[in-house]
């Protein structure tokens, strides 16, 4: 078998290039040129560069793989650097070397004397700004940003634009992307980009959240680089937490969260947050949750701000009372809630109405009314009478209100609504209740008001379809009861005891489902094997039965009275 080979010309070119870089010793003229650069003899360097009879390759490399410009930059010989740059020396390797050594003066000279026809390619895996950002060299990153040299965000995995993605291979694009993300996620770059860019509204904290989301998404699309992307994700999370740990005053916390400093100090002193600050805190924490910054959300400062936002406007003696006193108060609130709603509609500016507007009482109201809804469902399921009663009408009104509430949530969240598992549970519960109600209505319409006393089998046969609809309605109603209990589990997440237990239960269920998947595959293979084994037995039994039938027919013919 023969394998395709590259053209001979390309092979020879690569051999000469490699040989010239590593194996071949520099000629005497080139060696003298390198010695002059190394010693700082500017006159000899100029004479070598101006010698047209025996010219030297200005971009040649010595035995150490260094160009003349790199040697001059290493020795900080600025005059020789300017002379080499005037002769159009390739500055990319020297620039990267200066960045590695954190030599800002050499970087400035290299870029200030850069010839006009030489450009530093953006298509390389590592560009100067990316390297400086990855190494976290403050002064050099600051210099690049002030000169409008920033790191562009990589395009998405599925992007096929003509400008950058269509002409490059997938591997090349992946290497560009991960190197850019390494530079973008460096704390030095994120902070300087925000501080040095005029009109920038992308603060470092929000930037860290956004980068973490994009990096995690990229890790799911490129599993071969998942480990590297997860390292970048951890750096973003650590940066966000370190920013909070570095705060030494309430003013710094307010600046970090982009909220009013004076109002935050006043609100924390009164243990309440006004509407604007509360919305900012909740919005920032919600962004952190979506991006997976668990450590940031669990930070003690955030937990204190969150408690201040939740209990804002609620007297301390209410939410701070012992649990044994909260239970009867909660039951009382559940019973009189309809009266409180009417009172709120009539007088929305009194103390009780303002207290009902707080997040704490909104959550309590939601729990109490859902428990009342479950009580109505249980009462409807336990009764033995036929026909609709007040309970069914109350359930219908509650379901209609919950459907209206979910419609508002869908219009607000959009397509993201379906990715929330609890939204799916709510949608299933409401769908089952609606199907149950429609099935009951259709069934009753078909059956009519048939008295049970005069019931007969022919009448049942005529109304069989109606009873089937009633059976379907009862089945949907029963499944809706189970779904409502699952929905109640969502409200238990806020409890510090039941919440972690619920998360552990869900993780265990995920492992159980994975086990059932393997078990199902093995069980299916076992069933197929047993079926194959018994199929031979079944075919043999059929042959024996067929043979016996033939013998019996022959015996019958032999024993016939007219047979000879």
pLDDT of residue 554: 56
End-to-end CA distance of the chain: 79
Task: Name the DSSP class of 153.
Answer: P
**What distance in Å separates the CA atoms of residue 115 and residue 494, rounded to the nearest whole number?**
63
**What distance in Å separates the CA atoms of residue 357 and residue 349, rounded to the nearest whole number?**
10
For residue 358, how many other CB atoms are within 10 A of its CB?
18
- Cβ atoms 48, 56 nearer than 8 A: yes
Q: Which residue has the tokens 């030095």?
A: 188
Alpha helices in 6-123 (DSSP H): 8-18, 28-39, 42-50, 68-74, 78-86, 92-100, 104-112
**What distance in Å separates the CA atoms of residue 366 and residue 490, rounded to the nearest whole number?**
12
pLDDT of residue 264: 55
pLDDT of residue 261: 58
Give the pair of three-digit tokens for residue 156. Answer: 């998405």
Cα→Cα distances 272→254, 264, 286, 302, 360, Å: 15, 9, 19, 14, 12
pLDDT of residue 6: 41
Coil vs helix vs strand at 61: strand
**What distance in Å separates the CA atoms of residue 59 and residue 120, rounded to the nearest whole number?**
15
Alpha helices in 59-202 (DSSP H): 68-74, 78-86, 92-100, 104-112, 128-135, 138-146, 170-184, 187-196
Angle between helices 359-382 and 390-413 (to 10 degrees): 140
Non-local (6+) Cβ contacts of 276 within 8 A are: 259, 260, 263
Coil vs helix vs strand at 147: coil
pTM: 0.66
Give the pair of three-digit tokens for residue 186. Answer: 């460096």
Per-residue pLDDT tens listing for the chain (564 residues):
333 334 444 444 444 444 444 434 445 677 888 888 888 888 888 888 887 777 788 888 887 888 888 888 888 888 888 888 888 888 888 888 888 888 888 888 888 866 544 345 556 778 888 999 999 999 999 988 888 888 888 877 666 665 666 667 778 888 888 888 999 999 999 888 888 776 666 778 888 888 988 898 888 888 888 899 999 989 988 988 888 888 887 777 777 777 765 555 555 554 555 556 667 777 777 888 888 888 888 888 888 777 777 777 777 777 778 878 888 888 888 888 888 888 888 888 888 888 888 878 888 888 888 888 888 888 888 877 666 788 888 888 888 888 888 888 888 877 777 777 778 888 888 999 899 888 888 887 877 654 444 555 565 566 678 778 888 888 888 888 888 887 777 777 766 667 677 777 777 888 888 888 888 899 899 888 887 777 777 677 777 777 777 666 655 555 544 444
Non-local (6+) Cβ contacts of 85 within 8 A are: 69, 91, 109, 110, 113, 114, 115
Exposed, middle or buried, 229 (CB in 10 Å: 0-12/13-18/19+)?
buried
Non-local (6+) Cβ contacts of 42 within 8 A are: 77, 79, 80, 83
Non-local (6+) Cβ contacts of 140 within 8 A are: 99, 102, 104, 107, 132
Coil vs helix vs strand at 191: helix
Question: Closest Cα partner for 309 from 239, 363, 243, 245?
Answer: 363
DSSP string, 207-224: HHHHHHHHHHHHHHH-GG
Beta bridge partners of 67: 61
Q: Annotate 100-128 with b (16+ C-beta within 10 A) or e (fewer).
A: eeebbebbebbbebeeeeeebeeeeebbb
- Cβ atoms 79, 37 nearer than 8 A: no
């Amino acid at each position: 078998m023969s394998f395709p080979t590259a053209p001979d010309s390309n092979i020879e070119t690569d051999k000469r290039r490699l040989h010239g870089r590593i194996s071949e010793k520099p000629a005497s003229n080139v060696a003298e040129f390198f010695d002059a650069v190394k010693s700082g003899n500017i006159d000899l360097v100029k004479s070598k560069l101006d010698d047209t009879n025996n010219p030297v390759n200005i971009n040649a490399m010595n035995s150490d793989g260094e160009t003349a410009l790199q040697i001059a930059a290493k020795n900080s010989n600025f005059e020789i650097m300017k002379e080499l740059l005037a002769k159009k020396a390739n500055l990319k390797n020297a620039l990267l070397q200066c960045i590695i050594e954190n030599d800002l003066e050499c970087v400035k000279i290299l870029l200030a004397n850069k010839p006009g026809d030489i450009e530093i390619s953006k298509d390389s895996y590592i560009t100067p700004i990316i390297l400086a950002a990855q190494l976290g060299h403050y002064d050099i990153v600051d210099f690049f940003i002030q000169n409008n040299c920033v790191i562009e965000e990589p395009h998405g995995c599925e992007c096929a634009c003509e400008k950058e993605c269509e002409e490059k291979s997938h591997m090349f694009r992946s290497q560009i992307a991960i190197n850019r993300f390494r530079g973008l996620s460096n704390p030095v770059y994120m902070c300087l980009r925000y501080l040095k860019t005029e009109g920038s509204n992308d603060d470092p904290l929000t930037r860290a959240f956004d980068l973490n989301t994009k990096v995690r998404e990229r890790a799911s699309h490129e599993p071969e680089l998942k480990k590297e992307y997860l390292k970048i994700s951890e750096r973003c999370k650590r940066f966000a937490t370190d920013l909070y740990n570095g705060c030494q005053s309430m003013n710094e916390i307010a600046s970090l969260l982009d909220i009013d400093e004076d109002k935050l100090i006043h609100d924390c002193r009164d243990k309440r947050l006004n509407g604007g600050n509360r919305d900012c805190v909740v919005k920032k924490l919600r962004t952190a949750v979506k991006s997976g910054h668990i450590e940031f959300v669990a930070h003690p400062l955030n937990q204190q701000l969150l408690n201040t936002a939740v209990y804002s406007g609620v007297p301390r003696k209410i939410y701070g009372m012992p649990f044994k006193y909260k239970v009867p108060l909660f039951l009382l609130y559940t019973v009189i809630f309809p009266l409180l709603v009417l009172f709120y509609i009539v007088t929305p500016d009194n103390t009780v109405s303002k207290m009902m507007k707080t997040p704490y009482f909104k959550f309590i109201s939601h729990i109490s009314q859902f428990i009342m809804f479950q009580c109505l469902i249980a009462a409807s399921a336990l009764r033995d009478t036929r026909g609709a009663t007040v309970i069914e009408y109350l359930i219908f009104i509650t379901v209609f209100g919950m459907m209206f509430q979910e419609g508002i949530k869908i219009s607000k969240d959009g397509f993201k609504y379906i990715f929330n598992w609890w939204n799916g549970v709510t949608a299933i519960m409401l769908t089952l209740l609606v199907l149950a109600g429609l099935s009951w209505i259709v069934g009753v319409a078909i059956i009519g008001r048939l008295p049970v006393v005069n019931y007969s089998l022919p009448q049942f046969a005529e109304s069989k379809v109606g009873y089937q609809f009633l059976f379907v309605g009862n089945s949907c109603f029963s499944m809706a009861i189970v779904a409502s209990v699952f929905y109640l589990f969502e409200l238990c997440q806020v409890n510090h005891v039941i919440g972690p237990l619920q998360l552990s239960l869900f993780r265990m269920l995920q492992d159980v489902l994975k086990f059932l998947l393997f078990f199902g595959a093995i069980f299916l293979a076992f069933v197929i094997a047993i079926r194959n084994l018994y199929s031979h037995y079944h075919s043999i039994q059929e042959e024996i039965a067929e043979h016996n039938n033939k013998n019996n027919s022959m015996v019958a013919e032999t024993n016939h009275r007219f047979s000879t």
